[in-house]
């Protein structure tokens, strides 16, 4: 059968896909119908006869990209714990360990593994507690920390740079993928537009109406901090407005989305509220984060936010934190973090079960709820 002839434009396009776009010969062959042997011949000719090409910026970028790709493949082959001729399962395990440190195309080309096979192995193979899953979990924690510390400013590039400086072996591609999964976006782009949209969407549904008719109708929350042994600890608490009962609290070393979300999750799973729940807070970035807002939407919880610069909109929380500090934290010099945490735990029990509240007719929060539930249903408790 007579071989088909190809135009110079077809040859150039195919070679550029390999040298510039780093596509594999197999993919190009499958897409164009050109045999692999023909493609290899064209690529070899382009590589060994550079004098036939005009030296342009495009050609320079093409050669630069090709050199970096080849350097990466060599590096992968040097550190992989198997060769490209090893059994497929060994090669897949080696790629799993290197995933996130190198471009997936480069990894698969180095150990001769089809990308579809690799993705299937990584993302569809439902194995429990794999090394890969554990590592992704560790990376997620540090990414969230850096994102929060930058006040949601850093994107994938800057977070990758910080992590590499700290010794993490991670690529920008992996960081971007994990940030996308976590719902983390840099606020640098279109900040003014986002700010204007945010001001329209952050509605104050509570409007200082602190009297409610039932438990689990309105929860309010805030975060405060306390210095113990010169270390700043953040305390997040949630109060049910009906009896002013603390339904959830947590202590952390960072005022992060993770802190407020885990506190809400603790309260929600403990109380199991029935009916519409309103959750009111200030406009802190942790409460406004994508992760927090999407989590509450999934539960059907309505978010309410204080007006900017109006502390009275969340005065119940302000009053509680004032009591916590005046009645406990400011009165004691804690010798350790454990002693400080134990004191906060004890105060929460005291506040709910033993401290009469004027708003409750000097009944404790637990007592007032028990009266309500005694008439309605069995009481709900905070774990």
Shared domain for 17 and 79, answered yes or no, is yes
β-pairing, 218-228 with 231-240? antiparallel
Shared domain for 169 and 303, answered yes or no, is no
**Residue 273 counted as domain residue:** yes
Shared domain for 169 and 233, answered yes or no, is no
**Residue 196 counted as domain residue:** no
**Exposure b/e, 153-184, CB count within 10 A at least 16 = b:** ebbbebbbebbeeeebebbbbbbbebbeebeb
**Residue 1 counted as domain residue:** no
Can you give the pLDDT of all 383 residues of the chain as single tens digits? 445 778 888 888 888 888 777 778 888 888 888 888 888 888 887 765 444 445 566 677 777 777 888 888 888 888 888 888 888 888 887 887 777 677 778 888 888 888 778 777 766 554 444 566 677 778 888 888 898 888 778 888 899 999 998 988 888 888 888 887 776 777 665 555 555 555 556 888 898 989 999 999 999 999 999 999 889 999 999 999 999 999 999 999 998 899 999 999 999 999 999 889 999 999 888 998 888 999 999 999 999 998 877 778 899 999 999 999 999 999 989 999 999 999 999 999 999 999 999 999 999 999 999 999 885 444 444 54
Domain count across the chain: 3
Give the C-alpha separation, 304 to 299, whole Å: 15
- The structure tokens listed for 28 are 């190009």
Shared domain for 75 and 135, answered yes or no, is no
The overall pTM is greater than 0.75: no
Give the C-alpha separation, 383 to 380, whole Å: 10
Shared domain for 241 and 226, answered yes or no, is yes
**Residue 381 counted as domain residue:** no
**Residue 209 counted as domain residue:** no
Q: Which residues pair with 220 in a beta bridge?
A: 239, 280
**Residue 149 counted as domain residue:** yes
Shared domain for 15 and 146, answered yes or no, is no
Shared domain for 163 and 233, answered yes or no, is no
Judge whether 187 and 153 are in contact, CB under 8 Å: yes
Strands, E, within the chain: which ranges? Answer: 218-228, 231-240, 245-252, 278-281, 302-305
Give the C-alpha separation, 156 to 256, whole Å: 18
Shared domain for 337 and 274, answered yes or no, is yes
Judge whether 163 and 142 are in contact, CB under 8 Å: yes
Q: Measured in whole angstroms, how far is the alpha carbon of residue 85 from the centre of its chain?
A: 38
**Residue 15 counted as domain residue:** yes
Give me the count of residues in the chain.
Answer: 383
Q: Which of the listed residues 124, 153, 169 is the one where a domain comes to its end?
A: 124
Shared domain for 226 and 142, answered yes or no, is no
Shared domain for 137 and 94, answered yes or no, is no
**Residue 208 counted as domain residue:** no
Give the C-alpha separation, 184 to 273, whole Å: 28
Give the C-alpha separation, 271 to 267, whole Å: 6
- Which range marks the domain in which residue 155 is found? 131-182
């Amino acid at each position: 059968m007579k071989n088909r002839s190809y135009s110079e434009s077809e040859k150039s396009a195919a070679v550029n896909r390999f040298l510039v776009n780093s596509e594999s010969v197999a993919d190009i062959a499958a897409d164009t119908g050109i045999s692999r042997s023909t493609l290899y011949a064209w690529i070899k000719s382009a590589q060994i006869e550079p004098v036939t090409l005009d030296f342009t910026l495009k050609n320079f970028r093409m050669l630069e990209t090709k050199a970096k790709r080849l350097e990466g493949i060599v590096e992968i082959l040097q550190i992989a714990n198997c060769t490209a001729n090893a059994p497929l399962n060994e090669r897949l395990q080696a790629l799993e360990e290197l995933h996130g440190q190198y471009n997936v195309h480069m990894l698969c080309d180095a150990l001769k593994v089809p990308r579809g096979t690799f993705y299937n192995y990584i993302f569809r193979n439902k194995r429990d507690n794999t090394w890969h899953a554990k590592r992704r979990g560790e990376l997620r924690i540090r990414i969230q920390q850096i994102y929060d510390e930058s006040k949601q400013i850093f994107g994938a590039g800057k977070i990758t740079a910080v992590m590499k400086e700290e010794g993490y072996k991670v690529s920008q591609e992996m960081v971007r993928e994990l940030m996308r999964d976590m719902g983390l976006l840099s606020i640098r782009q279109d900040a003014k537009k986002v700010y204007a949209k945010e001001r329209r969407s952050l509605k104050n549904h509570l409007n200082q109406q602190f009297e409610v008719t039932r438990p689990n109708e309105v929860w309010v929350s805030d975060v405060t901090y306390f210095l113990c042994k010169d270390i700043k600890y953040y305390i997040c608490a949630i109060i049910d407005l009906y009896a002013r009962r603390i339904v959830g609290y947590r202590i952390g070393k960072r005022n992060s989305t993770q802190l407020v979300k885990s506190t809400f999750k603790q309260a929600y799973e403990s109380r199991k509220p029935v009916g519409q729940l309103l959750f009111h807070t200030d406009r802190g970035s942790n409460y406004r984060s994508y992760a927090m807002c999407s989590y509450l939407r999934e539960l059907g919880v309505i978010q309410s936010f204080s007006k900017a610069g109006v502390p009275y909109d969340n005065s119940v929380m302000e009053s509680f934190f004032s009591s916590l500090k005046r009645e406990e934290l400011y009165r004691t010099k804690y010798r350790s973090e454990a002693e400080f945490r134990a004191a906060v735990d004890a105060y929460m029990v005291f506040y709910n079960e033993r401290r009469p509240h004027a708003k409750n007719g000097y009944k404790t929060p637990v007592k007032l709820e028990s009266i309500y539930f005694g008439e309605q249903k069995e009481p709900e408790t905070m774990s």
